[in-house]
Amino acid sequence: MNILNDSYKLNTGATIPKIGFGTWQIPNGDEAYSSTLFALRSGYRHIDTARVYGNEESVGKAIRDSGIDRRDIFLTTKLPADIKTYNGTLETFETSIKTLGVDYVDLYLIHAPWPWSDRGGDYTEGNIQAWKAMEEIYKSGRAKAVGVSNFNVKDMQAILDNGTITPAANQIRFFIGSTQNEVTEFCQEKGILIEAYSPLATGRILDNPEVKKLADKYEKTVAQICIRYTLQRGTVTLPKSTHEEYILQNADVNFVIDEQDMNYLNGLRDIDPQS
Q: Catalytic positions, please?
A: 53
- In angstroms, the CA 30 to CA 53 distance is 14
β-pair partners for 77: 108
Cα separations (Å) of 72 from 66, 140, 167, 227? 11, 20, 22, 23
Q: How many CB atoms lie within 10 A of CB 27?
A: 13
* Residue 266, amino acid: N
- In angstroms, the CA 244 to CA 39 distance is 8
**Kind plus residue range of the DSSP H or E element containing 93:** helix 86-100
**Kind plus residue range of the DSSP H or E element containing 97:** helix 86-100
Note the helical H segments in 108-173. 124-140, 153-162
- In angstroms, the CA 81 to CA 138 distance is 19
DSSP readout, 231-270?
HHTT-EEE---SSHHHHHHTT---S---HHHHHHHHH---
DSSP label at residue 55: -
Q: How many CB atoms lie within 10 A of CB 117?
A: 8
* Residue 173, amino acid: R
Among 142, 134, 136, smallest CA distance to 167 is for 134
